[in-house]
Amino acid sequence: MDLREILEQIREWPAWITYAALFFGAYIEYVFPPFPGDTVVVAGAVLVTAFGWNLWPVLALVTGGAVLGALSDWALGRWLFRSGRLERLRPSWREAIDGIAGQFARRGAWYLALNRFVPGIRAFFFVAAGIAGLRWRAVVFWSGLSALAWNALLLQVGFLLGDNVEEIDTLLSRYTAVVWILIALVFAIVIWRFVRGRRLRSRQAGSSRSRTDHSDQT
């Protein structure tokens, strides 16, 4: 059974079941990142363009599901911070997490505004926001704005390509591949700077101890 036949069957479902599937599909991506949430939006685009569904409920549901998922991740981050579990990690891990949380404390709005355009790691943006102590209202606003923009873009692509699901999936796959390459480059730079900073601090500490020992001997 191909995707078109599946969509034809979905069309026969009661509307509330399909709407619920769109909402929870968008939500699950944030609590189980491997879940292909963008595919849910693509399915919504096909329902709108090929089957004549109303655009606004579809857009509202996939956006609302994304916002609720983002809030769940934020709540997890707040719990990790307040429970003290992060303090049990190795010092190097705590240092890295503190650095990320510091970045979110300073530029959290920008990161959350861009989260929806970064597939695969969207959930971790909001866990970090929770650890950094961002307010839930900011999380709702920026996650909603980002999800609305991204979902509207996907739906627009659906309008342009009609019910050509395969071509939409191909475009998403290419976009995801490019984003993952960029993410890998950014992480490589971050890790390099982190390791380089630790080595410099270690050398400085060793040099300071040597000077102290020398002064004690004299």
77-93 pLDDT, tens per residue?
999 888 888 877 777 77
The band of 194, judged by pLDDT with boundaries at 50, 70 and 90, is low
> What integer is the mean pLDDT of 113-133?
86
**Following DSSP, what letter does each residue of 39-67 receive, concatenated?**
HHHHHHHHHHHHH---HHHHHHHHHHHHH
Query: What one-letter code names the amino acid at 28?
Result: I
pLDDT in tens, 181-190: 776 776 676 6
Who has greater pLDDT, 75 or 218? Answer: 75
Summarize the confidence of residues 152-177 as an average pLDDT: 72
How far apart (Å, rounded) are the C-alpha atoms in residues 152 and 150?
A: 5
Task: Grade residue 138 by pLDDT with cuts at 50, 70 and 90.
Answer: very high
| pLDDT confidence tier of residue 177, bands split at 50, 70 and 90 | confident
Phi, psi (5° rounding) for residue 183?
-60, -45
- Say if residue 168's pLDDT is above 50: yes
Helix axes 37-51, 15-31, angle to 10 degrees: 150
Q: pLDDT at position 43, please?
A: 74
Lowest mean pLDDT among 69-73, 144-148, 176-180: 176-180
Are the C-beta atoms of residues 65 and 31 closer than 8 Å to each other?
Answer: no
For residues 33 and 185, what is the distance between their CA atoms, to the nearest angstrom? Answer: 21
Mean pLDDT of the chain: 78
Residue 1: the pLDDT is 45
pLDDT of 3 higher than 60: no
pLDDT band at 69 (very low <50, low <70, confident <90, very high): very high
The pTM score is 0.75
Q: How far apart are CA 218 and CA 209, in angstroms?
A: 14
Contact at 8 Å (CB) between 148 and 52? no
**How far is it, in rounded angstroms, from Cα 135 to Cα 126?**
11
Does position 74 have pLDDT exceeding 90, yes or no?
A: yes
**Regarding predicted confidence, which is higher, 167 or 58?**
58
pLDDT tens, residue by residue, 13-62 = 788 888 888 899 889 988 887 677 777 777 777 777 767 788 889 889 99
The tokens 């983002």 sit on which residue? Answer: 70
pLDDT band at 70 (very low <50, low <70, confident <90, very high): very high
For residue 211, pLDDT over 60 is answered with: no
CA angle 43, 37, 25 (to 5 degrees): 75
**Strands in the chain per DSSP E:** none
